[in-house]
């Protein structure tokens, strides 16, 4: 079975540009999560969706960050405008159901803002 | 506030030298404690979920245990392919659906 698919795997862009990260969750999973990983702060939850509806976006650092899930098989995380401090690895994860089910992660997008 | 602290930050073992990784947690109403393995350039890979104190889970050379304050990941007779960063995460009743991750323990097993 295909796992969580993220694209692009690497992104290098200049400060001020718009960045869009993409995620395809595992088919049948009804929860989708966006995380950011840095050396200093580790793995942090940014936002998560249930049945395509945003449930908790309290981890989104600023209004420059936005996330959408237009259907069950696709989600985007957008940064506009981007800043050097946004450089990190961004992960998408998905899970099925409640009751503390494990989350399954994609291989991430390594983002570098120059 | 839910918190997770992992120790040590880094661990070097010789092949075959057994050891344990620690995950101490503070959470209001534990719903689940999760162990993940992360290889360089990859996303975290799910290993175990533990739900209540006294529970144990095993997979090959790995065994996870849980008490009311901490969890241990025991590695028996490790091999070089066990080298990775091991992450612990908790879900509490006040943050349903959200995982709080520790900083991880980076394990290196030398042949």
Comparing CB atoms, the residue among B43, B102, B104 nearest residue A91 is: B43
A12: left (phi over 0), alpha (psi -120 to 50) or beta: beta
In the predicted structure, residue A112 carries a pLDDT above the cut 80? yes
Digits of tens for pLDDT over chain B (111 positions)?
Answer: 889 999 999 999 999 999 999 999 999 899 999 999 999 999 999 999 999 999 999 999 999 999 999 999 999 999 999 999 999 999 998 877 889 999 999 999 999
Comparing CB atoms, the residue among B31, B98, B103 nearest residue A56 is: B98
pLDDT at position A1, please?
Answer: 64
Provide, rounded to the nearest whole percent, the portion of chain B with pLDDT above 70.
100
Q: Residue window 34-73, chain B: list those with CB within 8 Å of chain A.
A: 34, 36, 41-46, 49, 51
Strand segments, DSSP code E, in B10-98 are: 10-14, 19-26, 30-38, 45-50, 56-59, 62-66, 70-75, 84-92
Residues of A near B (Cβ–Cβ under 8 Å) read 4, 31, 42-45, 48, 50, 55-56, 91, 93, 98-100, 102-108
């Amino acid at each position: 079975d295909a796992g969580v698919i993220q694209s692009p795997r690497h992104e290098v862009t200049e400060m001020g540009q718009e960045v869009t990260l993409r995620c395809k969750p595992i088919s049948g999973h009804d929860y989708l999560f966006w995380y950011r990983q840095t050396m200093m702060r580790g793995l942090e939850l940014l936002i998560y969706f249930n049945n395509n509806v945003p449930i908790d976006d309290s981890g989104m650092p600023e209004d420059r960050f936005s996330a959408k899930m237009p259907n069950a098989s696709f989600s985007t995380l957008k940064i506009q405008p981007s800043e050097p401090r946004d450089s990190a690895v961004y992960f998408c994860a998905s899970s099925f159901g409640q009751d503390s089910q494990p989350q399954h992660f994609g291989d991430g997008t390594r983002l570098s803002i120059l | 506030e839910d918190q997770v602290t992992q120790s040590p930050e880094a661990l070097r073992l010789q092949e075959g030298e057994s050891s344990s990784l620690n995950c101490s947690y503070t959470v209001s109403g534990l719903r689940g404690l999760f162990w993940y393995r992360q290889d360089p350039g990859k996303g975290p890979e799910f290993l175990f979920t533990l739900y209540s104190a006294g529970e144990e889970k095993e997979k090959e050379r790995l065994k996870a245990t849980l008490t009311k304050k901490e969890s241990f990941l025991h590695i028996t007779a490790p091999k070089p392919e066990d080298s990775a960063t091991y992450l612990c995460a908790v879900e509490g009743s006040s943050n349903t659906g959200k995982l709080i991750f520790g900083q991880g323990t980076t394990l290196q097993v030398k042949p």
